[in-house]
């Protein structure tokens, strides 16, 4: 007892490999902890590999064989304590018999090389047989094992009260690349009871790229599975084997939930709808199970639905408690966060005895928020105060990556006869300081801008790629050497997943006639988003209060769709939507100014500002 095999400091580990005598217990395992062997510490060893940890030198049976031995530690939370346990015919670590309790297996690589990136598989990564109250991994930093490239990742047979937490099962050491276990990530069978797979923050496992995620078979019950990241497994994420199964192995719900089997074949929740109210999203559903019973429902989001349609559980979102009525049913709602937009939702149900269901049928995709993907303004760029000045606002809490472009020569392809020949671009911070300037987009950020797919088509045009904190910004377009012509300023949103939006663009310039009116472009998206509201304003007379000596006296406004069809128009904002515009708190300051409040489906739109009677001026 209380022996140390290896150690966490450099040079103290052993190479314990190539014990291959078939019929000898002592000569076929890497090491054995037998009856009453307790308090032993196994750290920093290469067990089943060469000294580099890259070549298979497996022991013929188990790497570490714990039989009737309680309270031993294999590995630890420090990097130096990690054992490489790979290449064994049976298990990397085997924990056997009801006296083998309280053992801790932490921080090891089981089934991989020393870098955790290539498979040197064991038959099973870890086997727990008839043993109770052992912990595989843990919730603290460094406690999780990498258990990949094996047959089964973790197999529990007739075990009680064991915990599997914080591990990477089926991935490389980074938790991202596939290195799957060929049979299942986790198998609980032969009356394995009260196992905890996962847990609250820090205790969840990554279980991915395996032939199956978590399988519960035979009469194994009370097994709680939640808080994990389960995705990209070939079979079901959670499979309760038995009952009435479809071709994908999904066990059908029954009503009432009276069947027996793996985890009592607990019914899964039924997700009925994703509801949308402004920027909020909520999943609604129903659980049919047993009457007057408390259940915990756990919710997950997924980039993709499982091929079975029943999803897995890639990102844990949280849980709610529900109580069924006397008719065995309960309706529920669960609010979704911004990170769930554009993803699929699944859920599980866990009864008071810890029996967790399979994953539910995946929901429809959560509708993303309607956002401006692009905002732009076209205008004749002159000199002095009559250059093209575009202001835009980033709202929200997160920095936003944008591309701002100044376009001129390439407008000729769209029928513009006098494009700005060589535009320059300035981008100013909210405090007025210059963020960056550009003349000819290839001059400074060529590689980065090409990578966005939004490079201007003419080398004389300008572009700036920047990550901007929420606030109000100003982009100024001028002609090199005070050249003039029709130009366009625009901003593209490159990251719509973050909690920030392009919320406003305002452009000031000289509004003339014909092709030299002010033209604004808007792209609303993405395609799957619901319709969104927008307020367009054409301001003129009130600019006089800001020192503009020749404001546009009576602006009018048109909104057209991507086909050029007129959607709405306005001359004098009080004439059509006065009450609705007043409710926004964004009314123009002069009654002769124009405004349109519209609800727009995803698509391209154009706003055109001109003067009534072909008048001209700053607008």
Q: Is the pLDDT of residue 372 over 90?
A: no
- Strands in 400-407's sheet, in edge-to-edge order, are 462-468, 400-407, 485-493, 371-381, 518-525, 603-611, 555-561, 566-570
Round the average pLDDT of the chain to a whole number and report it.
90
- Domain-wise residue ranges, the chain: 4-211, 267-367, 371-508
**CA-CA distance, 162 to 195, in Å (whole number)?**
5
**CA-CA distance, 414 to 27, in Å (whole number)?**
81
Average pLDDT over residues 425-454: 87
Out of 35-39, 188-192, 562-566, 598-602, pick the least confident.
598-602
For residue 469, what are the CA distances in angstroms to 24, 156, 481, 618? Answer: 67, 50, 32, 30
Average pLDDT over residues 164-178: 97
Average pLDDT over residues 181-195: 96
Q: Is the pLDDT of residue 437 over 80?
A: yes
Average pLDDT over residues 450-477: 90
Q: What is the number of other CB atoms lying within 10 angstroms of the CB of residue 326?
A: 7
Average pLDDT over residues 334-363: 94
Q: Check: CB of residue 377 under 8 Å from CB of residue 285.
A: no
Q: Is the pLDDT of residue 577 over 60?
A: yes
CA dihedral 336, 341, 346, 347 (to 10 degrees): -10
How many residues belong to the chain?
A: 619
**CA-CA distance, 192 to 221, in Å (whole number)?**
7
Average pLDDT over residues 381-410: 86
Q: Check: CB of residue 468 under 8 Å from CB of residue 483.
A: no
Average pLDDT over residues 301-326: 93
Q: Which CATH number fits domain 267-367: 3.20.20.70, 2.60.40.10, 3.30.420.10, 2.160.10.10?
A: 2.60.40.10
For residues 436 and 54, the model is more confident at 54
| Residue 202, SS3 per DSSP | coil
**CA-CA distance, 110 to 99, in Å (whole number)?**
24
| C-alpha distance across the termini of the chain, in Å | 86
Q: What is the model's pLDDT at position 529?
A: 64
Q: Is the pLDDT of residue 26 over 60?
A: no
Residue 305 pairs with which residues in a beta bridge?
A: none
Confidence bin at 533 (pLDDT 50/70/90):
confident
Confidence bin at 373 (pLDDT 50/70/90):
low
- Lookup result for tokens 């002095």: 384
Q: What is the model's pLDDT at position 545?
A: 86
Confidence bin at 568 (pLDDT 50/70/90):
confident
Confidence bin at 149 (pLDDT 50/70/90):
very high
Q: Is the pLDDT of residue 315 over 90?
A: yes
Taking the domain 371-508, which CATH number applies? 2.60.120.380
Tell me the Cα Rg of the chain.
32
Q: 225 is written with which tokens?
A: 């599975």
For residues 580 and 447, the model is more confident at 447
For residue 369, what are the CA distances in angstroms to 341, 433, 562, 604, 605? Answer: 7, 32, 20, 16, 18
């Amino acid at each position: 007892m209380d022996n140390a095999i290896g150690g966490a400091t450099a040079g103290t580990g052993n190479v314990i490999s190539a014990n291959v005598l078939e019929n000898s217990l002592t000569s076929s395992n890497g090491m054995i902890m037998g009856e009453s062997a307790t308090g032993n510490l196994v750290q920093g060893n290469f067990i089943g590999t060469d000294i580099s940890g890259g070549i298979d030198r497996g022991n013929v049976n188990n790497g570490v064989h714990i039989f009737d031995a309680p309270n031993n530690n294999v590995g630890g939370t420090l990097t130096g304590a990690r054992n490489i346990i790979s290449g064994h015919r049976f298990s990397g670590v085997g924990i056997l018999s009801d006296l083998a309790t309280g053992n801790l297996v932490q921080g090891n690589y089981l089934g991989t090389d020393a870098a955790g990136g290539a498979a040197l598989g064991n038959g099973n990564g870890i086997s727990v047989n008839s043993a109770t109250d052992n912990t595989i991994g843990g919730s603290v930093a460094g406690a999780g094992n990498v258990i990949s490239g094996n047959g089964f990742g973790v197999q529990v047979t007739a075990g009680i009260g064991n915990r599997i937490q914080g591990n990477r099962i089926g991935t490389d050491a980074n938790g991202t690349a596939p290195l799957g276990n060929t049979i299942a990530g986790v198998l609980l069978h032969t009356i394995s009871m009260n196992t905890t797979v996962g847990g609250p923050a820090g205790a969840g496992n990554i279980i991915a790229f395996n032939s199956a995620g978590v399988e519960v078979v035979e009469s194994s019950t009370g097994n709680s599975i939640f808080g994990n990241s389960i995705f990209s497994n070939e079979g079901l994420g959670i499979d309760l084997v038995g009952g009435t199964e479809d071709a994908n192995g999904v066990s059908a719900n029954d009503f009432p939930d009276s069947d027996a089997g793996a985890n009592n074949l607990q019914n899964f929740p039924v997700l009925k709808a994703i509801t949308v109210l402004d920027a909020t999203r909520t999943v609604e559903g129903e659980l049919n199970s047993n009457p007057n019973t408390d259940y915990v429902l756990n919710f997950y989001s997924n980039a993709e639905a499982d091929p079975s349609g029943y999803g897995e559980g890639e990102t844990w979102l949280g849980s709610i408690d529900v109580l069924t009525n006397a008719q065995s049913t309960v309706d529920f709602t669960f609010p979704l966060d911004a990170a769930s937009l554009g993803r699929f939702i699944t859920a599980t149900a866990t009864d008071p005895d810890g029996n967790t269901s399979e994953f539910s049928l995946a929901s429809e995709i959560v509708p993303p928020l309607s956002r401006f993907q692009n905002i732009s303004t076209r205008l004749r760029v002159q000199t002095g105060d009559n250059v093209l000045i575009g202001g835009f606002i980033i709202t929200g809490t997160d920095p936003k990556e944008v591309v701002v472009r100044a376009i001129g020569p390439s407008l000729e392809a769209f029928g513009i006869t006098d494009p700005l020949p060589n535009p320059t671009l300035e981008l100013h911070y909210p405090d007025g300081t210059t963020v960056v300037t550009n003349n000819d987009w290839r001059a400074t950020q060529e590689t980065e801008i090409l990578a966005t797919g939004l490079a201007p088509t003419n080398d004389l045009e300008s572009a700036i790629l920047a990550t901007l904190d929420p606030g109000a910004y100003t982009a100024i377009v001028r002609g090199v050497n005070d050249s003039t012509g029709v130009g366009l300023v625009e901003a593209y949103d490159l990251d719509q997943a973050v909690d920030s939006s392009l919320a406003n663009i305002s452009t000031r310039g000289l509004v003339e006639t014909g092709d030299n009116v002010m033209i604004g472009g808007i792209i609303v998206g993405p395609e799957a988003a619901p319709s969104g509201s927008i307020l367009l304003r054409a301001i003129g007379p009130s600019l006089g209060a800001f020192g503009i000596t020749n404001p546009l006296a009576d602006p009018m406004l048109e909104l057209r769709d991507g086909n050029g069809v007129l959607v709405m128009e306005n001359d004098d904002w009080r004439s059509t939507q006065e009450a609705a515009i007043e409710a926004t708190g964004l009314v123009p300051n002069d009654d002769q100014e124009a405004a349109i409040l519209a609800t727009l489906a995803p698509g391209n739109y154009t706003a055109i500002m001109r003067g009534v009677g072909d008048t001209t001026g700053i607008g």
